Amino acid sequence: MRINVNENFHKLDNNYLFCEISRRVKACKEKKPEAKIINLGIGDVTLPLGRSVIETMKKACDEQSKKDTFRGYSPDTGYDFLKNAISNYYKKYGVSVDKEEIFISDGAKSDIGNLTDLFGDNTVYITDPVYPVYLDSNIMSSCKAVFMRATEENGFLPMPRAEYKTGIYYLCSPNNPTGAVYSREKLDTWVKFALETGSLIIFDAAYEAFIKGDYPHSVYEIKGAKECAIEVCSFSKTAGFTGIRCGYTVVPEKLNCESYSLNKMWRRRQSTKFNGVSYITQRGAESAYSDEGVAEWRKNIDCYMKNATRMAEFLKKRGIEYTGAYNAPYLWVKCPEGYGSWEFFDYLLENCHVTVTPGAGFGKCGEGYFRISSFCSPADMSEAIKRLGTLL
């Protein structure tokens, strides 16, 4: 073929991280077939969906079998019943979001990737370490990326700096991979900075439901954020929808770039390139906000967070430095002196058959760290702690 391809794809890191982890785990299994490997690298939920969500989806499925209740294409931006439920959920945090500002999607990852359609040539500011989708989607659309270092010195929470200019700033709180969470004061500084410099914040709140302390769950809890921020969120980690697929993005009506309304542009983008989320899924997502639905996913989150707390207590006892765990399902742990991320990954795999995620896979500043996920079963967490106890 002689067509022109998007050359930017050659600049991507070829999904190095998870392929490399699988390769090393496979090699270990071949060498020691009897070993039971415990996966603390997993970023996916493991507990089943709540009963009420399942029952609601079954009912919605039955509706599709009858002429009177059958539904075809859903509205491009989602059904009002789900938008109203999301709008009510925001009220819990004192945030008013109109249903015209909410766009239902098949998940946060798609929205984060697709948002680049709205923008021309900008500098994008991305934390290091980072959830790789922010970076890769911008590489694909040839935007210049500047890294904001998330290190021990800034508590893994980069803040505006004098040299930062007008651009698109990706913030994720609670953070994947570090588990760090922005305070109200810190987010307020970001919002003021964005307003002063004419910048846009893309705020990823995928882990908001894991927050236990007094931290903002939404960027819109901060005054002025409706004029400078888009918020992306998801039912994946909140209600266990990683396989069902449902998320949403809030594009405020007040969000304008010169004469362009980003809300209208995103509506146009979605109606052109997206044909909506299934009725069954949206009914399931709506029921995740019922009292029963919330109680069910809260129970699952409590289980993951108990895992995180137990691991944190173990690390603390052993004097191992970490962050995260109390407001996020991740712990960001410092490798012992002299070990790089991948070296320590190999050491744990080889000597106690536990896999973690090497920090270097999330960016240069991740070197010397690893991420532990608490999305495993309590039994696996107990066994992993026992095994790590013999080594660390």
Q: Which residues bind ligand PLP (CB under 6 A)?
A: 43, 107-109, 131, 172, 176, 204, 206, 234, 236, 242, 247
Q: How far is the CB of 307 from ligand PLP (least distance, A)?
A: 17
Q: Which is nearer to ligand PLP, 109 or 186 (CB)?
A: 109
DSSP-assigned beta bridge partners for residue 358: 370
**What are the residue ranges of helices labelled H in the chain?**
16-31, 51-63, 80-91, 108-114, 132-140, 184-197, 236-239, 262-273, 279-287, 291-317, 341-352, 378-391
Residues 6+ apart with CB under 8 A from 171: 127, 182, 187, 190, 201, 202, 203, 204, 219
DSSP at 239: H
In the complex, the smallest distance separating the C-beta of residue 25 from ligand PLP, rounded to whole angstroms, is: 19
Closest alpha carbon to 45 in 339, 241, 285: 241
Instruction: Give the side-chain half-sphere CA count within 13 A for 138.
Output: 23
- Distance CA(105)–CA(94), nearest Å, equals 24
Least distance in angstroms from the C-beta of 107 to ligand PLP: 3
CA dihedral 201, 207, 209, 213 (to 10 degrees): -80
Which of 240, 259, 184, 310 is closest to 45 using CA atoms?
Answer: 240
Residue 252 Cβ vs ligand PLP, minimum distance, rounded to whole Å: 20
Which CB sits closer to ligand PLP, 72 or 243?
A: 243
Nearest CB to ligand PLP, comparing residues 204 and 380? 204
**Least distance from ligand PLP to the Cβ atom of residue 241, Å:** 7
Distance CA 8, CA 16 (A): 17
**Which C-beta is closer to ligand PLP: that of 242 or that of 261?**
242
CA 345, 347, 352, 353 dihedral sign is positive
In the bound complex, what is the minimum distance in angstroms from residue 286's beta carbon to ligand PLP?
17
Nearest distance in Å: CB 343, ligand PLP: 25
By C-beta, is 315 or 328 nearer to ligand PLP? 328
Closer residue to ligand PLP in complex, CB, 205/349: 205
* Of 143 and 202, CB closest to ligand PLP: 202
CA dihedral defined by 344, 349, 352, 357, rounded to 10 degrees? 70
In one-letter notation, the amino acid at residue 317 is K
Alpha helices, H only, 166-222: 184-197
Closest separation in Å from C-beta 108 to ligand PLP: 4
Packing angle, helices 291-317 and 51-63, rounded to 10: 140
**With respect to ligand PLP, which residue has the nearer C-beta, 43 or 155?**
43
